[in-house]
Structure 1
Amino acid sequence: MNIVVVSDHAGFTLKEDIKTFLESENHNVIDCGTYSKESCDYPDYANAAALAILDGKAERGIFICGTGIGISIAANRHKGIRAALCSDIYSVRLSRQHNNANVLAMGANIVAIPLAKEMIKEWLKEEFEGGRHERRICKLDID
């Protein structure tokens, strides 16, 4: 699967660990930055990564900042992006089953790498259930 990864400076180290993990799981990783721990603005990077999904270059994305809050808000500004901010396996599971999340947002100051890897494994294997959830998803992309 093509997966775009992105972070701000606070999420840089976790993003780098996740890139290595995803590549070891045979996923193609598209890195939209940032490329250092130097202070930067998360909306710039979230926007670039969201466009990679919307343009069809990636099927899903993993977006990281210090708490995951800012970068998930920036991602969700894009019609067609469904970013779920998660810090536990249960939320990850339901983000796919019920919300068809195409972006997993995480907080680097909240989620340690072992948990992040387990969350990603779960998120990548889960499928959207459709049904009653499809009706709700269709209501998200309003003009």
Structure 2
Amino acid sequence: MSAQTIALASDHAGFDLKEHLKRELQAAGHVILDLGTSSTDSVDYPDFGTALAGAIRDGRAGRGVLVCGTGIGISIAANREPAVRAAVVHDVTSARLARQHNDANVIALGARLVGPEVAKDCLRAFLETPFEGGRHAARVAKLSSR
């Protein structure tokens, strides 16, 4: 994994997994932009998905990792920002294809669905896999032209 700024955000359900992934990213030399939450106290996932989307939009981070109970709600919140292409991933294959075919710049993980080791493998695949371009480029361009 090459060093870059990675934004992280989670709700209360995703806090522990976010912290686990944060340690992995730090160990790999990445600069971390931790946008919260900072505990397991109940919070609203849209606030954190929106915060991470703003960091991507404003260029404060090149990629992002979101975590909530399922990954679904927080990804919906982030995807309201046109600069974000957030994909809910559950395994290495979905993480790899999100990058190769969709040029995803954010992954969302469900802490109630994916364990820490699988999440770490997904993160690695997400960061190491390049966008394939080619036949996928025009399709991805349509995602940002709304």
Tell me which interval the TM-score lies in, with the shorter structure as reference length: over 0.9
Q: State how far apart, in whole Å, the 2-side matches of 1:80 and 1:50 are.
A: 8
1:140 aligned to which of 136, 139, 143: 143
TM-score by length of 1: 0.98
Match of 1:44? 47
1:129 aligns with 2:135: no
TM-score by length of 2: 0.96
Partner of 1:5: helix, strand, or coil?
strand
Q: State how far apart, in whole Å, the 1-side matches of 2:101 and 2:142 are.
A: 13
Match of 1:107? 110
Shift of 1:83: 0.3
Partner of 1:129: helix, strand, or coil?
coil
Match of 2:27? 24
Identity between Structure 1 and Structure 2 (%): 52
1:34 aligns with 2:28: no
Q: State how far apart, in whole Å, the 1-side matches of 2:58 and 2:76 are.
A: 20
Q: State how far apart, in whole Å, the 2-side matches of 1:109 and 1:118 are.
A: 16
Shift of 1:140: 1.1
Q: State how far apart, in whole Å, the 1-side matches of 2:26 and 2:94 are.
A: 24
Count matched residues: 143
Q: State how far apart, in whole Å, the 2-side matches of 1:68 and 1:117 are.
A: 15
Q: State how far apart, in whole Å, the 2-side matches of 1:120 and 1:89 are.
A: 8
1:119 aligns with 2:127: no
Runs of 4+ in 1 over 6 A off after TM superposition: none
Aligned residues: CA RMSD: 0.7
Match of 2:15? 12
What are the equivalent positions in structure 2 for 1:36-115 lying under 5 Å apart? 36-115=39-118
Deviations 1:15-57 (A, max 9, x none): 0111111000111110000111111101111111111111111
Deviations 1:111-141 (A, max 9, x none): 1111111111111100001111010011112
Shift of 1:89: 0.8
Q: State how far apart, in whole Å, the 1-side matches of 2:122 and 2:140 are.
A: 22
Structure 1 alignment gaps of length 5 or more: none
Partner of 1:124: helix, strand, or coil?
helix
> Which letter does structure 2 place at the counterpart of 1:42?
Y
